A and B are shown apart, each in its own frame.
Chain A
């Protein structure tokens, strides 16, 4: 938190009814590639979950992003898909990294989009389609079955066994499945509740979630 305060002096850690939040103004100058540099500020609240850093924070903004499609009506921002958020967060589990790598790219996208009606980089489709995109992006596969297998694997497994087969369906052992070796060890850190929600979103008709629930890791 000290690092956060040093860089963003108007963000402050507050405790309301036992819940920890970072509240205040996030002010920055952000640049991306050779796109325009944007100087902007947002009043935000970052809710820190009880099981942080196992679970990632949720971010709320209720002034500038009203009506924006990548936001819930209660003000919670859809920073990215859970997979992408955990992927980024697990690289360096601290709040400053969370702000710099997830929140600011989100707001940069927003500011740029509002200003130019153009996207500076790709966003994800809503719902299941977006989830599949994100898995395709990381695993090179978007078939419902392989996604299902991957997520199921991550719910069950506590530690990746590199000598077992990769859940991607390639038939290779994880140790030889170079693209997936690292990412698997990150996804298994995603809390099961989140993975289960993803599973439901990807294929609600299969109704196999219950099976998985029975076998989930403890």
Chain B
């Protein structure tokens, strides 16, 4: 039987192995700040701009791509807030084109060879080799009022509405090209606030342990066990599910993990209990967005049952893998099993790290005791 301490040490190192480097975080920050500067001085000069990362880079749960030559995806919200940028005066298509022009101009100025690609909700910049990352710029306008009204209508608390935004969706033909109040609501900043509120007690503890102020903790160095659990689960998903348009989305994984995280238990116990909760949530088909209680993250499962199926299949495999770890006799058998769930490269890295901060040197004294037997 592998002891809990060893399992925990292993998963801790596994999380560090799938984590991205500080340099990568810094690069992303530098990139989007450069974009912000450029936009402010060019096409979008007249708007009060806010540019911020959403999703895993904002939360500190970003992971490495599963292949050496894979890409890092960064989502950036580009929110315009000005009297001129509101639903009464602007169509979604106009906002998309406005930001699109700025993005195109930026790419030319930087001599990025690939033209930015237009997707349903964003513009994608593919940076040249060897940067290995692409940035999705999501055009948005402020939308706090709409979310507030929506929440109030259903008598929900309005905790996170201030930061809600409206985003464009080219695929929704009926609303894309007309002046309408009917825009998609998104609330990445509100979600981040919710996530950070859950993390706060652990971050405070972390800061105390290191004897620094919370503000002085760099985002990538304030990793709690919750971050690590999310990263491990996401990597497991990426590796076992692979490229699939019905792949379980990170937001669902993050939400369920954060809601069910138990700080009294170690990483491994949490992985076991949270993977159980993933299966339960998967079966129910209801995963409410905590920053917009009117939204069910799994809404699309109704029209695309493959998504639900794949989610449950993946979550079950995750749970089985975690339970296997408990049953396994020795660390080495874990290696074989997990190679097929996380990939040899990452498992080898994690094993090398737990193989154990250079092993101690032992000098055997002269004329040692020989073994004996009956």
Contact = CB atoms under 8 A, between A and B. Distances in A.
Interface of A: 7-10, 12, 14, 23-25, 27-33, 39, 41, 43, 63, 69-72, 77-81, 84-85, 88, 100-102, 104-106, 108-110, 121-127, 130-131, 134, 201
Nearest to A126: B373
Interface string B4-43: 1110010000000000000000000000000000000000
A124 B330 contact: no
Given A23-B3, A43-B330, A105 B373 contact: no
Contact of B6 (A10, A71, A80, A104): A10
B372 A70 contact: yes
Contact of B361 (A29, A72, A81): A29
A8 B374 CA distance: 30
Given A10-B6, A105-B369, A124-B373, 12 more contacts: A8-B356, A27-B355, A27-B360, A28-B360, A30-B361, A30-B364, A32-B363, A69-B373, A80-B369, A101-B365, A105-B368, A106-B371
Contacts of A30: 361-364
B369 A29 contact: no
B336 to A, nearest CB: 14
A126 to B, nearest CB: 4
Contacts of A108: 364, 368
A8 B360 contact: yes
B12 to A, nearest CB: 12
A78 B371 contact: yes
A161 B355 CA distance: 50
A101 B354 CA distance: 24
A8 B6 CA distance: 12
Nearest to A62: B329
A144 to B, nearest CB: 18
Given A9-B9, A10-B9, A24-B5, A84 B372 contact: yes
A104 B373 contact: no
B364 A130 contact: no
A88 B368 CA distance: 10
B173 interface: no
Question: Which of B356, B362, B363, B366 gathers the greatest number of chain A CB atoms within 10 Å?
Answer: B362
Contacts of B357: 9
12 contacts: A8-B356, A10-B354, A12-B4, A23-B3, A25-B356, A31-B362, A71-B373, A79-B372, A100-B362, A104-B364, A122-B370, A124-B373
A85 B9 CA distance: 33
Contacts of A106: 371
* Residue among B3, B330, B364, B365 with the highest chain A CB neighbour number at 10 A: B364
A25 B331 contact: yes
List the 6 closest A-B pairs by CB distance, nearest first.
Answer: A123-B370, A70-B371, A80-B369, A124-B372, A105-B368, A32-B364
Contacts of A130: 372-373
Contact of A29 (B362, B365, B374): B362
A24 B370 CA distance: 24
Given A24-B3, A25-B6, A7 B360 contact: yes
Contacts of B354: 10
Contacts of B356: 8-10, 25, 27
A119 to B, nearest CB: 8
Given A9-B356, A10-B356, A124 B370 contact: yes
B359 interface: yes
Contacts of B110: none
A43 B3 CA distance: 11
A172 B286 CA distance: 89
B370 A109 contact: yes
Contacts of A104: 362, 364
A147 B9 CA distance: 50
Interface in B327-343: 329-331
B146 to A, nearest CB: 54
Question: Residue among B359, B368, B370 with the most chain A CB within 10 A?
Answer: B370
A97 to B, nearest CB: 11
A29 B368 CA distance: 16
A109 B360 contact: no
A67 B330 CA distance: 19
B28 to A, nearest CB: 34
Contacts of B367: 121
B331 A43 contact: yes
Contacts of A81: 369, 372
Most buried by A among B361, B367, B368: B368
B374 A201 contact: yes
A121 B372 contact: no
A78 B372 contact: yes
Nearest to B360: A7
Contacts of A109: 368, 370-371
Contacts of A110: 371
Nearest to A68: B371
Given A9-B9, A24-B6, A41-B355, A134 B372 contact: yes
B1 interface: yes
B369 A79 contact: yes
Given A10-B356, A69-B373, A32 B6 contact: no
A179 to B, nearest CB: 15
B355 A85 contact: no
A46 B357 CA distance: 22
A11 B354 CA distance: 12
